[in-house]
A and B are shown apart, each in its own frame.
Chain A
């Protein structure tokens, strides 16, 4: 509010109505020039694809030649047939179930690990904070594909020193077996993003005035009590934010299973919803179903993210 009144030129007080409206018009013109380049491209790369995907998902290709071969191809309205097709596809649904299970396990694990590391680094008992912080954050600089190649080598018997060590110890581990490969992927994702999450939490911890911690300590709280009752409640917003980003990230799971696929026969083309949509589009050559699946994926991501935000929002209100 005060910003609006401030931005008016001082002499405007004398003839407020005309000057104000002229300022407004000038504001709108200038704002348009600054905002338009971004929004033109935002429209092209965000709004138009969504619109186009919805449009495509509602159509199907019909061939007019005999037996459906040759002749002319043209798109006709298909209603919700593509959605029905996607939702009737067991492998697509299994893939969804798989990433939901993945998220339900990996996200809490990663958040707990990142919180623990952030609290340890920010505690008074920590030495070598800069080194450890850099070490934990380092994997974030490794692209998902490279991380998957890297861990892929660490999983494959023959190359992997981990498997060799386990062998010597008498354990028979198979990181790429049907039941374990999902958790091997969870390990890659955790390895990559724990440091990033930790840094978000540290950023929030740092924004809290030191006096607050000191006051708690003077009141006789030990390190654990300060962490539990002062620090944890204060980093709640950062925890919520990183959880939402993790939910979105989990649903997009693609690069890791895609890269591990040649190594693990247990990963099929419908391992994750994203992989399924990709193979519908480029292997099955079925753009319309792929479009429907992309729309469904975006919808589920939005519902889960907003659902989570509302859930924690409401709980926050109850607490006061």
Chain B
């Protein structure tokens, strides 16, 4: 894609470009069969490594407790009951699983939306308003990217429990809306994608800064915002340590914490092994579908984040 504009601008050569290219193309896109076989086998072996555990989970979600232990893990039992077992998971203990799932959606959804908006505003300002101390402020944000999250979680718990915020929805939500990486990405993106001349024109037309940001800035930054939202959503969804230290009330648990509390009791209540497997399956499938479907945005984020660093 990026190669298109220069070529389009080039004066049309007397010999059409296409006729000069096939020899090169032909040689590079059709390497010897031996290479193709080696490549395909290596990729297949790797794919097996990454997919087999997911396959195991899918198969196992159709089994009852006895079959989970009694039958071969990589094949179905005599009586696979995918739907029935998953309904059992959803209704167990007055539907506590559904509640955990809802909590996860709440933490990740609201957290990621707020994080995206805050990052967008901060990144936009850092890119588009030259003010004194701007680089210093930006460097503090960058340091924030490098601080390990779990080294912060314990101190954050001490602080929040001193403030009386521990064991509330806020304890997980508030830290989730801060994304230094989001600010970093938004700044880089805004610097490249929001032209100063456009902002100037809007100012001359008499628009206020808030309106310019809402009407122009946010719109021009949309690809970056989608990326920040996705990264933050997955980050919050996968976060385990923070909710673990913050929450003691199981009705506030996100899904991960709930599932580990089931495995903790599984010794005494073996049916919970089955529910853990089913619950893990239910929680993983939608996210994996989402992730593979939205790979394009991950790649944009990664390019902006790593290549221009």
Contact = CB atoms under 8 A, between A and B. Distances in A.
Interface of A: 3-4, 6-7, 9-10, 24, 27-28, 30-31, 33-35, 37-39, 41-42, 44-46, 48-50, 52-53, 56, 113, 116-117, 120-121, 123-128, 131-147, 149-151, 153-154, 158-162, 164, 191, 194-195, 199-200, 202-204, 206-207, 209-211, 213-214, 217-218, 223, 237-238, 241-242, 244, 248-249, 251-252, 254-255, 258-259, 262, 274, 277-278, 281-282, 287, 290-291, 294-295, 297-298, 301-302, 305-306
B29 interface: yes
Contacts of A56: 155, 158
B303 A135 contact: no
B73 A161 contact: yes
B125 A34 contact: yes
Interface residues of B, number: 110
Interface in B189-203: 191, 196-197, 199-200, 203
A150 to B, nearest CB: 5
Given A42-B140, A146-B283, A298-B147, 6 more contacts: A34-B121, A42-B180, A149-B259, A150-B56, A159-B73, A203-B299
B232 interface: no
Given A161-B73, A200-B306, A248-B148, A149 B280 contact: yes
Interface string B137-174: 10011001011111110111111001000000000001
Given A6-B196, A204-B307, A298-B148, A45 B175 contact: yes
Contacts of B241: 252, 254-255, 274, 278
Nearest to A251: B148
12 contacts: A31-B125, A50-B152, A121-B43, A124-B30, A126-B43, A127-B40, A132-B47, A139-B50, A144-B238, A153-B73, A204-B303, A262-B267
Interface stretch (B8-16, B79-87, B89-97, B286-294): B286-294
B298 interface: yes
Contacts of A262: 263-264, 267
Which residue, of B132, B241, B245, has the highest number of chain A Cβ atoms within 10 A? Answer: B241
B24 A214 contact: yes
Interface string B30-60: 1100011011101100110111011011001
A161 to B, nearest CB: 3
A141 B284 contact: yes
Given A45-B152, A143-B238, A282-B245, A191 B72 contact: no
A291 B151 CA distance: 9
Nearest to B248: A282
Nearest to B179: A38
A141 B27 CA distance: 38
The secondary structure that dominates the A interface is helix
B203 to A, nearest CB: 7
A146 B152 contact: no
B256 interface: yes
A31 B264 CA distance: 49
Contact of B256 (A132, A136, A143, A251): A143
Contacts of A217: 24, 27-28
A7 B28 CA distance: 47
B155 A27 contact: no
A44 B174 contact: yes
Question: Which 6 pairs from chain A and chain B are nearest by CB?
Answer: A161-B73, A53-B155, A34-B125, A49-B155, A31-B129, A141-B291
A244 B146 contact: yes
Contacts of B137: 35, 39
Contacts of B256: 143, 145-146
A40 to B, nearest CB: 9
A202 B302 CA distance: 9
B110 interface: no
